[in-house]
Amino acid sequence: MSKGDGLVRSRFYLLDDNEVEWEGKPCVRFWGVDEKGARICILSNLIMPYGYFLPNQQDDLETIRQKVIEDKKHFPGIISVSIETKKHLGQECKVLKITCATSDVRSGYSKELQKLVGKGEGFENDLRLPVRYMADLMLTPCGWNECETDKIKLDGAEGYDAYVASTAPKSVADDTVPTLRILAFYTLTVGEKGSAKPESDPIRAIALATTSGKSATLVSEKDDVKVLKDFVEFVKGYDPDIIVGFQTNTQDWLYLIQRSKAVKFKLAVGRDSSEPHTSVYGHVSVAGRANLDLFDVASGIPEVKVKTLENVAKYLQLDSAVKFTTFEEWDRSSLWAEESGRRKLIENASMSAQASLELARETMIFPMQLSALTGLPLDQVMAAATGFRVDSYLIRKAHQIGELIPGRNEQPYFTYRGAIVLEPKTGLHDDVAVLDFASMYPTLMEKYNLSPDTFIKPGESVPEDSVFIIPEVNHRFKTKPDGLYKTVLATLIHERLSIKALLKGASPKSTGYKVLKERERALKVITNACYGYAGWAGARWHVREVAESAAALGRETITKTITKAESLGLSIIYGDTDSLFVKNERAKVKQLLDWVEDELGLEIRVEREYRRVMFTEAMKRYAGLLPDDSLDIVGLEVVRGDWSDIARQVQEEVLGKILRDQSLEEAVEAVKATIRKLQKGKVPLADLTIRKTLTKPIEKYVVRTPHVEVAKRLMKEGWTLTVGDKVAYVITKGPGKLFQKAKPSSQVKPEDVDREYYLENQVKPAAMRILERFGVSEGQLET
DNA sequence: GCTCGTTGCTTACCT
DNA sequence: ACAGGTAAGCAACGAGCG
């Protein structure tokens, strides 16, 4: 490579970043799209890897500094050591900043320093260089950034311009999104026996679809090397910025990677012609492009119980959903065996790619907004668990205020008391209002300055008038200065409010509306996760007392509100954590709301109004009729993914007849009709299938349950099942325990079904859960 | 060896 | 791999039983 044309100002929409070595130095490579729509890559080694060391207070930093610089044997690869002022848990402190020549020596010096000075603590040496850059410079992924650059020629750079940053990049406020090229793909594999194995089973087809309309279905003729080759050609030719698919991180990419290895093919799909690799949070990383698995987006739609592309597409009413069918892997080999089946599979492959593309278009704004908010690159943000999204957000905020970023040392864990749930008043209630505290925990955390850096340890003395003492648990927090959580939550809450205000004035059809809406959602997600994050042992800023205090304040809040409601003569029907269900006497409700706002200083709203609502004796399970005549069903079998459809349907019918039509008779009739259908064998297998998730590796189970036994059987037959997979089974006739009667749904014939089980253990319990509240006995369901 | 009540594993839900 | 609180089904266990 050679230095080129001199300085230019580059403004770029940041899509991806990664660490590389360049000119012998650790360096970050930013990938993005510039204002003219050119794809660009910017190299920067303006920040070298570094971390901090906080020694004991009495230690003389200058002496230690000298020792570290001179002792090359114990401290290799250190470029410079300086003394800086930072904050640790809100207290100003002097620390050593240790800058390293390479990333790999970073974690070693802390231990050496501890040996040298006896005590002390290392900070920030676990942050990878791209994270370092993003936080130090507050760069925005899925947002615009700019810097002075020097154009360079980079060997093998095709389709993009390469630069070296000569000034530090910085974020630019600009909500526009450039036109991005999205590629959706689907890989068709067929197993000879059981799941397809990359060592022996070729890729049968790869279907591709793009936002520009260009599409292809690459079908394997003799061997699949040609398909792999054409796939790479297609990717390079189209040069996508974003690659999407469904379950690509766990299926397609893994198969492509392993298959390529098996046939010794270089899967050079990266912008730098590198191969994809599995990276943090278990996602697959493709250099220069954002690889997004839409399955992770679908995980955020709880209404869809079985997360297949087909179900998600149907739920979102995508165009491609109309003709879509899911061909499960056990159906594929017989289909592939003959010409018409083959055609169907290939046709469906191209529809899958098409559906993924539509799904991406429909849902991508949220991931992009969450990426911009948290600072995690687009390909990581949806793969990362909630805790890591908050972690990323806090790292950036902490850096901004000069607070040292602690490591993630897993600490011993203690649980604590949580929220209050009230025993419901059972039966039917007309005209009920549901009152809800707005963002209760975040608000309480902000109000009482609950934070790791304001928490006063037991025994520590402080002036009494500058302390919040939390009821019941007696934890103490400084009223001043603002803690990290307060600072962060105040920003999040404030920003969310201002977006809400903007949304009120905007037309839902305007271009910016959806972006704002999704940004608002991203803010809400992060705001609401802060409480749980504080109580999570894996959190960098985990302090159990913070979460415990928020919960205690929540209990106090709801208890006081209940007392007030009762004194106003409002009948309380139910309540959970931050909600109260009361008889909708509007004048009294208004009085209560005003009281909460005036006396407690918290916002409370009428969240919903039920024309009618019913409770069983159980908490967290009820059903209500909304003003628009729709049913709101909570916690009951209808909304549970681990009951058969037949049971869920009959319960929903019963609830409809009772709440909407107010006819107990019709409800009973509906159940009888279902029972007759079941007894006649007229209920399709699909409605009898029960699905449960494998939540741990199969060998970790200590109890034999239907879904685990079925999973074991399938695995023995050569099917691949992993944690997170749903196991579909049907209970069949025969002797023994339930787990012995459960068979994989794909292997059950209609005549094998144990109708008695479905009658006694699915349909009747689901129906009776509701009906027994109204005096119906099981005998009355006899047909 | 069987029945019956209790315990605990397991999943999925609610806020 | 954000928290705790809850329901519910079923397997496993142990006591009682001539």
pLDDT digits (tens, 9 = 90+) for A90-119: 999 999 999 999 988 877 888 888 888 888
Of A147, A169, A125, A123, the residue nearest A10 (C-alpha) = A147
Token digits of residue A276:
């994809």
- Three-state secondary-structure class, residue A258: helix
Nearest CA to A49 out of A112, A145, A113, A136 is that of A136
Q: What is residue A56's predicted lDDT score, i.e. its pLDDT? A: 79
- Check residue A377 and give its pLDDT: 97
Q: Which residues, 6 or more positions from A467, have their beta carbon under 8 angstroms from its beta carbon? A: A456, A476, A477, A478, A479
Provide the token pair at A611: 């024309």
pLDDT at site A5: 56
**Distance of C1' in C2 from CA in A441, Å:** 13
- Measured distance CA(A336)–CA(A342) in Å, rounded: 5
By CB neighbour count within 10 A (0-12 exposed, 13-18 middle, 19+ buried), where does A681 fall? exposed
**Which DSSP category does A57 fall into?**
T
As a rounded value in angstroms, the CA-to-C1' distance for A424 and C5 is 15
The reply to whether A4 Cβ lies less than 7 angstroms from strand B is: no
Nearest Cα to Cα of residue A289 among A162, A179, A377, A419: A377
pTM above 0.85, yes or no: yes
pLDDT at A268: 97
CA of A710 to C1' of B6 (A): 28
The H or E element spanning position A51 is: strand A50-54
Q: Whole-angstrom Cα distance, residue A322 to residue A436?
A: 39
Q: How many CB atoms lie within 10 A of CB A16?
A: 26
CB under 7 Å from strand C: A 385-388, 390, 415-419, 421, 528-529, 531-533, 535-539, 547, 551, 577, 616, 618-621, 703-706, 737-739, 761, 765, 769
Identify the pLDDT of residue A48. Answer: 95
- Give the integer Cα–Cα distance in Å for A456 and A90: 12
Mark A163-181 as b/e (b = at least 16 C-beta within 10 Å).
Answer: bbbeeebebeeeeebeebb
Say which residues have a Cβ less than 8 Å from residue A284's Cβ, sequence separation at least 6: A248, A249, A253, A254, A257, A276, A277, A278, A291, A293
Determine the protein residue whose CA lies at the shortest distance from the C1' of C1: A385
Distant-in-sequence, close-in-space partners of A661: CB < 8 Å, separation ≥ 6: none
Q: Across-strand partners of A82?
A: A97
Whether A577 sits with its Cβ under 7 A from any strand B atom: the answer reads yes
Percent of residues, chain A, with pLDDT higher than 90: 87
State whether the Cα torsion A15-A175-A299-A437 is positive or negative. Answer: positive
Distance A771 CA to B11 C1' (A): 25
- Residue count (chain A): 783
Cross-strand partners of A205? A188, A219
Q: What φ, ψ does residue A643 adopt, rounded to 5°?
A: -115, 155
Which residues, given as ranges, of chain A have pLDDT below 50?
1-4
Strand B proximal to A722 Cβ, under 7 A: no
| A704 CA vs C13 C1’ separation (Å) | 14
Residue numbers in A 602-661, CB below 7 Å of strand B: 620-621, 634-635, 639-642
Residue A6: per-residue pLDDT: 65
